[in-house]
Amino acid sequence: MSDIDIELRMLVEAVYLKYNYDFRDYTGASQKRRVLVALREMECATVSELQARVMHDADAFRQLLQFLTIPVTEMFRDPEYYAAVRQHVVPILKTYPSLNVWVAGCSTGEEVYSMAILLQEEGLLERTQIYATDINPESLAAARRGVMPLERMRAYTENYQKAGGKRAFSDYYTAAYGGALFERALVDNVTFADHSLATDSVFAETHFISCRNVMIYFNRRLQNRVLGLFHESLCHRGFLGLGSKESIEFSNHAQRFEALARRERVFRKVGA
């Protein structure tokens, strides 16, 4: 094992023991890259030096956390996913009197607002409770604010239209001070909550879980844990949506989900 691999393992162990954030089962290659970026930005010469700082300075940990989590997301990312949700998932969701939807690893909220817009256009938002969870408090705060960079609106509008949007995308936000502030009503029924897929357990029975490009950062052991959680949380024949290049075929739970829209990565729970 190389020196840096030893240091990386000690860093995530220290972070776990001291702050109870569990990055021990994140995939190595991308985590290493993010720590190396943190080293540069936080002006530490070695991972060990970074570890010492983080151990004795909670602010330094909060800073490191912004590097360890990956807040790269966009609204209606992979429009075909949302189109598939409209086509395959919504008709069945409409048969329930009330709904629980879980956006797991919601980051800065782009996916939450996208999902809320979709549910509103399908007449489901009022009877839906959305749980939007993440481990990064700064991301959750940003998600609650619901202000997106204005310069992204052109790309998001294009995504929204491709995703089967039924109105003008600009109906949903007010442009002000270089930001796009999204309608508060969209998130009236959203609970933003701190929840760790690595350490926390199931908190509600859900009908639909959207967890996109989160498990690609997890190793197979953690992926297994999370798919187990999802299976437990989902109601009978509940739906699971993943990122466009995610696979569950190498997981222990592969047989417990069936593909509903294979290309768009929409799955359905099978079994109890």
Partner 1 sequence: MSDTQARAGRSDATQAAPLSRAQVRAALGGRRIEAVVIGGSAGGVDALVALLPGIPAGYTLPVFCILHLPGDRESRLAELFDDRLPVPVREAVDKAPIAPGTIYFAGSGYHLSVEQDRTFSLSCEPPVAFARPAIDVLMESAADAYGSGLAAILLTGANHDGAAGMAAIHAGGGFTVVQDPNDAQVPTMPLEALRRIKPNLVLPLAAIHALLPMLETEEP
Tell me the number of residues near partner 1 by CB under 8 A. 25
Residue 184 touches partner 1, criterion: CB under 8 A: no
One residue of 20, 43, 245, 272 binding partner 1 per CB under 8 A: 245
Stretch of 111-119, 138-146, 178-186, 209-217 contacting partner 1, by CB under 8 A: 209-217
Check residue 240 and report its DSSP letter: E
One residue of 47, 70, 227, 260 binding partner 1 per CB under 8 A: 70
Residue 265 touches partner 1, criterion: CB under 8 A: no
Q: Dump the DSSP string for 84-144.
A: HIIIIIHHHHTTSSSEEEEEES-TTSHHHHHHHHHHHHTT-GGGEEEEEEES-HHHHHHHH
Residue 262 touches partner 1, criterion: CB under 8 A: no
Cβ-based burial of 7 (10 A; exposed 0-12, middle 13-18, buried ≥19) = middle
The minimum distance between CB 79 and partner 1, in angstroms, equals 10
Strand partners of residue 242: 211
- Please answer whether residues 243 and 72 qualify as being in contact, where contact means their C-beta atoms are separated by less than 8 angstroms: no
Q: Which of 115, 52, 110 is nearest to 89 (CA)?
A: 115
The minimum distance between CB 10 and partner 1, in angstroms, equals 16
Residue 244 touches partner 1, criterion: CB under 8 A: yes
* Residues 24-43 contacting partner 1, CB under 8 A: 27-30, 32-34
Residue 207 touches partner 1, criterion: CB under 8 A: no
Residue with the two structure tokens 């089962």: 25
Residue 199 touches partner 1, criterion: CB under 8 A: no
CB-wise, 51 or 224, nearer to partner 1? 224
> What order do you get walking across the sheet with 173-176 strand by strand?
147-149, 179-182, 173-176
Q: Phi and psi for 201 in degrees, rounded to 5?
A: -115, -175
Stretch of 12-20, 43-51, 228-236, 247-255 contacting partner 1, by CB under 8 A: 247-255
Tokens representing residue 114 in the block: 């996208």
Residue 220 touches partner 1, criterion: CB under 8 A: yes
In the complex, the residues that contact partner 1 under the rule CB under 8 A are 2, 5, 27-30, 32-34, 70, 72, 213, 216-217, 219-220, 223, 243-247, 249-251
